[in-house]
């Protein structure tokens, strides 16, 4: 994919979960990126996403608004607007929102075909 592409907000792919949503703007499946995945994560107050890892890529998460606690294996990192975390491949992680406001984050992966493995609890 070497073409220049603009994606309208209405053309984004949305995945809804009990804890919030993932909105995808660019990836291989959508056909508009050959090397990366880019999206937005929305985490509802009082919720957390499942613990998981990505065997085939790094993840970069940047907090736009709200406050979260992000886990990397057994370490916890409080994060707020402007904070960024780089998550290596194969590292189990998740985010929790124990605040009163929705947390919004941009997320980027170093592959156009992000794979996710849910961790055993």
Contact predicate 43/20, CB 8 Å:
yes
Per-residue pLDDT of the chain (121 residues; tens, 9 = 90+): 556 689 999 999 999 999 999 999 999 999 999 999 999 999 999 999 999 999 999 999 999 999 999 999 999 999 999 999 999 999 999 999 989 999 999 999 999 999 999 997 6
Cα–Cα dist 90/75, whole Å? 15
Contact predicate 14/22, CB 8 Å:
yes
Instruction: Name the CATH architecture for the domain at 12-118.
Output: Sandwich (2.60)
With residues binned 3-state (H G I as helix, E B as strand, rest as coil), the percentages for the chain, rounded to 5, are 0, 50, 50
Cα–Cα dist 1/4, whole Å? 9
How many angstroms separate the Cα of 13 from the Cα of each of 9, 23, 33?
9, 6, 14
Rounded to two decimals, the pTM is 0.93
What residue spans define the domains of the chain? 12-118
64 token code pair: 């736009």
């Amino acid at each position: 994919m070497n073409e220049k592409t603009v994606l309208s907000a209405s053309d984004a792919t949305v995945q809804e979960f009990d804890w919030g949503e993932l909105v995808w703007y660019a990836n291989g499946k959508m056909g508009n990126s050959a090397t990366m995945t880019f999206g937005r994560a929305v985490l509802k107050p009082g919720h957390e996403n499942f613990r998981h890892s990505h065997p085939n890529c790094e993840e970069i998460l940047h907090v736009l608004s709200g406050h979260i606690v992000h886990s990397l294996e057994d370490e916890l990192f409080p994060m707020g607007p402007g904070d960024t975390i780089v998550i290596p491949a194969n590292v189990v992680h998740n985010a929790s929102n124990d605040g009163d406001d929705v947390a919004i984050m941009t997320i980027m992966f170093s592959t156009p075909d992000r794979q996710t493995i849910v961790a055993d609890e």
